[in-house]
Structure 1
Amino acid sequence: MKPQIRAATPADAPAISQVIIRSLHQSNALDYSPDIIAQVEKSFSIESVRALLSQRHVLVATIDCCVVATASLDRDVVRSVFVDPGQQRAGLGRQLMATIESIATEANIEVLRVPSSITAEAFYSKLGFRKIRDEFHGAERTIIMELRLHRAAGRDLDHGQYLRD
């Protein structure tokens, strides 16, 4: 069945938490120590996910009404892009990111930023993000990346002039 992308609801919080935690333990564990995985996992308890729903634009991808992936937009920052390990490499992350980019473009955001894990750096690079710098939070390495968005219909929305490539 074809995946559906939609805004997350509070009822999705348990499933979002499960997808993220499974992904952390199976995918991210290849690049991060158990201590770092355990620390990051605390940020994605059901209660924490419910709180994030009121602070960010959170999306889910569902197949047969089951949440299999999630991503969120916090102003101009992409956050918490996770795909269930059993569904990875099926295009769900790309679909979520395309939706995030559409939302950002409609909001006149010119540059999207993402604090990428080591695990996801190649994924974001394939989508056109470029590395800006590394950040370290203790032993945890995060790669700060950004993507310049194209203006809607090729127009400079602030000045009404057509942009030249």
Structure 2
Amino acid sequence: MALELAVRRASDDEADAVSRVIVAALRETNARDYAPDIIARVEQSFSPSAMLQFFRKRQVVVAIVGNQVVGTASLDGATVRSVFVDPAFQSRGIGRRLMAEVEEAAWADGVKVLTVPSSVTAEPFYSKLGFRAVRDSFHGDERTIIMERSLR
């Protein structure tokens, strides 16, 4: 069954919902690849108040099914950040739709090469979208794969 999916700019009153989606994805999906202390540390960067700050500094989009926020992604200059989909809605094309929206925004801003600091968990997802690993980055024992892709 196809989802009735809408993707649009996040609004301030969705900060709690966006935070919940990210924390759920971290705890359920990313926890397969990262230790509990890393997940706990990363979670702190995605509180509702932190989300409001991101809404001011980045182009943040949300995926909506019904009236529920089920995914989010953001563009920070030429860098894609915080692409997360609610675990109950993963593997249904929502992440791909979010990325298409972010890529359109980047292209409109004149970005030629898009970068994404990928979790180990999301690397296969970004690879399928044409991103290639450039280098590893470490924040303590948290490994991130820096990936990039030329637009159009």
The equivalent position to 2:38 in structure 1, one of 8, 27, 36, is 36
Percent identical among aligned pairs is 53
CA shift, 1:97, in A, is 0.3
Gaps of 5+ in 1: 151-165
The equivalent position to 2:64 in structure 1, one of 53, 62, 65, is 62
CA shift, 1:102, in A, is 0.8
CA shift, 1:65, in A, is 1.3
Structure-2 residue corresponding to 1:143? 145
CA deviations on 1:82-106 (whole Å, 9 max, x unpaired) are 0000000000000000111111111
Matches within 5 A, 1:1-165: 1-150=3-152
Aligned-partner Cα distance in 2 for 1:111–1:85 = 29
Structure 1 counterpart SS, 2:53: helix
CA shift, 1:108, in A, is 1.1
Aligned-partner Cα distance in 2 for 1:58–1:50 = 10
CA shift, 1:32, in A, is 0.2
Aligned-partner Cα distance in 2 for 1:61–1:16 = 10
User: Amino acid of the residue matched to residue 96 of structure 1?
Assistant: L
User: Amino acid of the residue matched to residue 148 of structure 2?
Assistant: E
- Alignment length (residue pairs): 150
Q: TM-score, normalised by structure 2?
A: 0.98
Q: TM-score, normalised by structure 1?
A: 0.90
User: Amino acid of the residue matched to residue 65 of structure 1?
Assistant: N
User: Amino acid of the residue matched to residue 63 of structure 1?
Assistant: V
Aligned-partner Cα distance in 2 for 1:51–1:103 = 19
Larger radius of gyration: 1
CA shift, 1:113, in A, is 0.1
Q: Where in structure 1 do 4 or more consecutive aligned residues deviate above 6 Å?
A: none
Aligned-partner Cα distance in 2 for 1:53–1:110 = 23
